[in-house]
């Protein structure tokens, strides 16, 4: 009987199986890394939008809270109305929706006049203070038709309560959904000093 020598190398089938297994593991690893990088990018985008919105909200809140006087609100930025009392309804059910204004005018504690404007026309999409943007227009913009001020009073002798509402979105740099982030911002501020 003759002894046959066993080959010490790999067969073609064994080699192909190893390639398929290594390739599958590589695809899983690439998928995990891609997902992690997308998650990180989404978090970065959310952070940029949140920082811009919070900065704008803090600036407006501080200015309104400590303003020397309330000079009115306007729907078109021309004629400012200082009367924030809405017509009383006999049965206020449901609660009447406050009028949505696009401009707010105050005199700051230092005597300087400040006019805040919501410009969310689909072109400019920003919030301005005396026509200067208060959000970084290179990275974020106001979502159209989501920015406004409201003005209410509990009683005729009360200080006005100003509602501030807007929604920011990152300016589109990519068509990928994970690269966009939209966050709403809203607060109510009562004038501490101003009685009009």
Give 139-157 pLDDT, tens digit per residue: 888 888 889 999 888 777 7
Q: Does the model's pTM come out above 0.85?
A: no
- The predicted structure's pLDDT at residue 113: 93
- The predicted structure's pLDDT at residue 89: 46
Instruction: Tell me if the bond preceding 94 is cis, omega within 30° of 0.
Output: yes
Distance CA 42, CA 49 (A): 11
The list of the chain residues with pLDDT below 50 reads 87-90, 196
- The predicted structure's pLDDT at residue 136: 85
CB 112 within 8 A of CB 178: no
- The predicted structure's pLDDT at residue 33: 82
- The predicted structure's pLDDT at residue 121: 74
- The predicted structure's pLDDT at residue 117: 92
Q: Would you tell me how many other CB atoms lie within 10 Å of the CB of residue 117?
A: 22
Nearest 5 degrees, angle CA 136-CA 142-CA 143?
150
- The predicted structure's pLDDT at residue 194: 57
Backbone φ, ψ for residue 162 (5° rounding): -100, 125
């Amino acid at each position: 009987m003759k002894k046959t020598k066993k080959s010490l190398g790999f067969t073609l089938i064994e080699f192909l199986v190893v390639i398929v297994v290594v390739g599958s593991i590589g695809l899983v690893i690439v998928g995990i890394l891609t997902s992690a990088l997308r998650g990180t990018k989404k978090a970065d985008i959310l952070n940029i939008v949140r920082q811009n919105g919070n900065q704008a909200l803090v600036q407006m809140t501080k200015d309104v809270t400590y303003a020397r006087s309330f000079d009115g609100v306007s729907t078109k930025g021309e004629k400012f109305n200082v009367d924030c009392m809405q017509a009383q309804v006999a049965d206020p059910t449901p609660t009447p929706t406050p009028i949505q204004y696009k401009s707010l005018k105050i005199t700051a504690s230092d005597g300087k006049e400040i006019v805040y404007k919501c410009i969310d026309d689909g072109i400019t999409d920003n919030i301005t203070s005396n026509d200067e943007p208060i959000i970084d227009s290179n990275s974020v913009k106001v979502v159209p038709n989501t920015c406004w001020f409201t003005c209410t009073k509990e009683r005729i002798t009360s200080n006005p309560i100003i509602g501030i509402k807007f929604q920011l979105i990152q300016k589109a740099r990519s068509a990928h959904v994970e690269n966009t982030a939209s966050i709403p911002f809203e607060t109510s501020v009562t004038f501490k000093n101003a009685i009009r």
